Amino acid sequence: MACRPPSPHPAPPTARSGARGLSLALLAAALLAPLPWHSPGRAAESEAEVVRSERGPVRVSTLTSGLDFPWSLAFLPDGRMLVTERPGRLRILGKDGALEPRPVDGLPKVAVVGQGGLLDVVLHPAFATNRWVYLSFASGDADGVGTEVVRGRLVEQPGRARLEDVQSLFRMAPRSTRGQHFGSRLAFDARGFLYITLGDRGEMQRAQRLDDHAGSVIRLHDDGRVPADNPFVRTPGAKPEKFTLGNRNIQGAAIHPVTGELWTHEHGPQGGDEVNVIRAGRNYGWPVITHGVNYGIGTRIGEGTARAGMEQPLARWTPSIAPSGMAFYTGTAFPAWKGNLLVGALRGQALHRLELDGEKVVHEERLLQGQARIRDVRVGPDGLVYLLTDERNGRLLRLDPPPR
C-alpha cells in the first residue's frame, strides 16, 4: 500500500528517460497555515488563507467540513456538487458548500472494507438531459469483494433526492478477500467511452493476466457494452473489457484537454508512483518492472526498472507521495496554470502542480504542503480548483485568486 507515514522531505519526480528525459526541478511554495474549522455543512467563504505560489497568490477557503472520508466530487449543471463519502453515502452540496442534511437515497449496497467503500462519482456527458450518475464502489458477495460500477438516474424532490433505475455496468472478476487497491477512478472521453481504473487488489501477479480484471484500465460504452475495437476482444481467454494491463493501483484519471487521451497516475510500492498516458493494449509493467521497492526491506521487485514491450512513466515520485485525484487546469481564474496537471497527494499531503511540454513534465511546484491528505482534485465550471481532504472530518477546499 502506498499510503505510508509522510516523509518530511519528499523527493521530486523524475521524468522518463530517452527523448522525454528530464530531471524535474522542485521548488516548494510557502506553506499554508492550518485552515479553520467550522460546523458541518456551513458555508465559510470568509474563512480563508492566502498562500504564496510561484505563479502568484492563491486564496484557500474551507467551504465545507464534517464530511466522512470524502472520496470524489462531481459538479451538477447548476453549480451544486455531488460528493461521495467512503462509508457509503452520496451527498449534495450547494454552490456555497452548504451540505444538504439528507444523503441521496437508492444507492446499491456498499462493502466498506479496508480501502474500499463508495468511491468515484461522475456524470454522463449528457446528464442535463438523461440524468445518469455513475458510481464506483466496493461490492461484496460469497466470493469476496471487488470494484463495481453502476449508473442511476438522479431524481430530486424538495428536501430529498434518490437514484432510480440503477443498473450495474461492471463487476470486477475474480473477486478477492483483500481490502486494498480498488483503483476506481471513472472518466468519459469525447467519444463517450467510459474508462474504469482498477488496482491489483494487493495480489500483484494478477496485473499481468489478460483473464483477470485486476491491475488494468477498463473501457466500456456508457451502457456497459464492450466496444468492438477494444484491444483484447479477439484474444482467446482475455477479458474483453480490458484496455491495458500492468497497472498497480490507479487513483487519478483525467482526459487531456487537447489530445483527448486518458492520463492517469498510480501508486507505486515504496517509491515509484507514476504518471502515464493510457493507450490501447499497452503493458505498464507492474510487477515485472517498477521504480519502487519492497516495503521495509527495500529489495527489488521483479526484473528492475525497464523491459522491452513495457511502458515507462512520463514522471515518477520516489519516495512515494501516494497520489490521488487529478485534473488538468482548463479554467481562466489562474491563467498562469493553463494546461498544468494538478495532482493530490495522500502520503505527501500536498497539491502538486506539474507544468507540461507535450508529454514532458518540465517543472513541479508543491502547494499546501503538510496540511492534509488530498483525496480528490477537480476544476469547477467557475474555473476554480476544488479539493477534498481524506479524513473523518473531511473538508471541501476551494482555491481562487485573492481579491485585488
**Which residues are known to be catalytic?**
181
If one counts every other C-beta atom within 10 angstroms of the C-beta of residue 32, the result is: 21
Rounded to whole angstroms, the Cα distance separating 50 from 48 reads 7
- Among 315, 333, 325, 316, smallest CA distance to 384 is for 333
The answer to whether the bond into 5 is cis (omega within 30° of 0) is: no
In DSSP terms, which residues pair with 164 in a beta bridge?
153
Give whole-number Cα distances, 124 to 1, 188, 205, 225, 325, in Å. 31, 8, 33, 15, 19
Q: Are strands 360-367 and 26-28 parallel, antiparallel or unpaired?
A: parallel
Residue 54, helix vs strand vs coil? coil
CB 364 within 8 A of CB 350: no
Phi-psi region of 77 (alpha: psi -120 to 50; beta: other; left: phi over 0): alpha
Residues contacting 85, CB < 8 A, separation 6+: 67, 68, 69, 70, 71, 91, 117, 118, 394
Rounded to whole angstroms, the Cα distance separating 184 from 215 reads 11
Rounded to whole angstroms, the Cα distance separating 116 from 177 reads 11
Nine-digit cell at 324?
A: 490521488
